[in-house]
Structure 1
């Protein structure tokens, strides 16, 4: 049984703050500053360039990849870390399309994160030759999979509403139609049990700065199923994805398996923070985490609906269809969220009308859930959000 009081103590949450935005940026792990300081002074400071060999920096993308792989149900040796999520989406998508050369359609849904769609649009524009991106409503994805589809590109949990796709069902439908399945786990990894191997995913990608708590700008990861590891060819082929990068061969030879999905020099300082963050997960059972998140989510929904009749639930009530966040709709959602943040309850806003709250049991319990609901109710009851200062949009919402 996971001890969530113990995990709570492993994060720094500022005094007076209830943090319900870990689905956007996870809080600072208590151990991260010391780990990063060691990296900077004892490793970089003393070893200089020798740190790549003396301290194993070059191997970290694979070793940390395997630690993330455990959390997403991947086979060992098939997850690697590095670069940004957009780059990993591009790599996975380009590789998948190349594996289905007789097909021209990428299928996604209108609830997907815009960046994924931008990447897909850019790729089809680059390829030309009849390639298209087709988007349908989330509930229509399965019915739209046919023999024209090369790959489906799906984010498992909708970033706005928390709606969760059925990975096993959609992957099976894709395979039955001869297509490949690419899954974006940005709002899944570290939030709920993911089983990419058992559920047949061909590729999966995700970021580490949300539920995995690696810090702002933390590196992304990519998973390639073992059956594709030696066939997948990333269009974005970097020097660290070469079979012998330090031969400096002018001709690209893909590295073995997942190594070919490496691109640029790994972000060593950021990986140090991630390493400290992943230590927290060593004592966490993902099924325990899921059960607790659903329990807290139900509690928050019940409390807010009872006290805030003007808010409309946007998140599915059904547990199987829900990620690890709760979202409500209101025409003045932005101003309400700013008023909430001013009182120490930190969630975030997503256009056009979403108040979004991350339910993260590693550092959130019943007391925080209840206090957040009470604060939200007080703001609405008092009309405290109706202030010009709370209506002024900031650069990051």
Structure 2
């Protein structure tokens, strides 16, 4: 999903103001009809990140009413929780924020005996969860990544590599996400470093690489309009989330047939969103039932089919998927998960806003 990573005082302050003024975004049309008023489960999840059909099935099967609110960024989630008691039971933060919330005592410790479907989670995903390797404070929900989308009619020849953004012949026909960790992580990976480097020399080298090799050829950094820009032909090459582009071109068969998505051969930054139970949750038994329900193979297959995702986390669900995914599990496992970079984040922020993004 389109994540806005980063942990800055300014970002949290602005998000907090927004939350206090407007509250969370409520998802309409989810709660099914029936006598489920007595049992309620309060969920706070990313926008467009769980099909209504799955919520409705859970409500019917467990005789519960789900109250489902949505947020657009980790910062918004964190700010709302920091503002005071929310009443939510389950949240879906990304790996770096799971680390932050765990360290601040905001999350309940997971009773793994209450989630038998944990056995369905791919051990290769567990190996990537260095921030919480034993699933003590989270259960993986989805492991995903942005990638490169190419209009093959306008760009018939290209390498499946980050080097495509160094092509001067495509100048002003390319766009990249407006996301500090994604772009700087991509440059670090391209240069052969960890996408989570805390080495200031490596971060500075990645900054210089972006400024000299990529920025001259891209139109802008954009995390909101790249899908529409692609469909109207402004952009021929996009580094972004494929589902955002797919949503724009589904009814355009010609463009769809001339669109290719790939994870660069060097690798790419990835995100992992986990299901966490808040420390002050009131409906923990229902929370455990929901988490276990999500990892039932038929339900997880339905979730990934809805978005065209591969079943990166749940192994048995792969055999039950009805739809072809736009990227393989093998491609996804070549990516590098984003972690909290601790004190180095201030240096990333300085490089991004004061040097890379200046003038954009």
TM value normalised by structure 2? 0.29
Larger-Rg structure:
1
